[in-house]
């Protein structure tokens, strides 16, 4: 555990307030707009990705330390694999009916 430095945690407060604002924006978009379902899902999903990235860097300190760059590379690779697996599965499941 790190020793307290006696400084005000400006970076952490900024990250917290930004996360709250993104959450409120997602709620407003989801419940207070007349957009199509696809547009709502796209906006809320984009806000969720930005918020996840913000929290990983601000609160989980992913980029700090001697393994910071390796952590980021591993996360990007994991995200790429997830997209390929999920996207490939959806592609196979939705286009399989053409063969019959």
Q: What angle do CA 54, 24, 7 make, to 5 degrees?
A: 45
Within a domain: residue 7?
no
Domain of 82 in residue numbering reads as 68-93
Q: Retrieve residue 18's tokens.
A: 């930004």
| Helix, strand, coil percent values for the chain (each to nearest 5) | 75, 0, 25
Separation CA 79–CA 36 (nearest Å)? 27
| Run means of pLDDT, 10 residues per run, the chain, 100 residues | 74 92 96 94 94 87 78 88 95 76
Within a domain: residue 4?
no
- Domain total of the chain: 2
pTM for this prediction: 0.68
């Amino acid at each position: 555990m790190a020793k307290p430095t006696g400084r005000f945690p400006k970076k952490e407060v900024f990250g917290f307030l930004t996360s709250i604002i993104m959450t409120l924006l997602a709620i407003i978009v989801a419940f207070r707009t007349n957009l199509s379902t696809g547009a709502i899902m796209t906006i809320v999903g984009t806000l969720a990705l930005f918020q996840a990235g913000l929290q990983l860097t601000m609160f989980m300190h992913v980029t700090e330390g001697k393994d910071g760059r390796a952590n980021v590379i591993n996360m990007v690779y994991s995200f790429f694999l997830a997209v390929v697996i999920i996207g490939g599965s959806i592609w196979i499941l939705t286009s399989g009916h053409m063969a019959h």
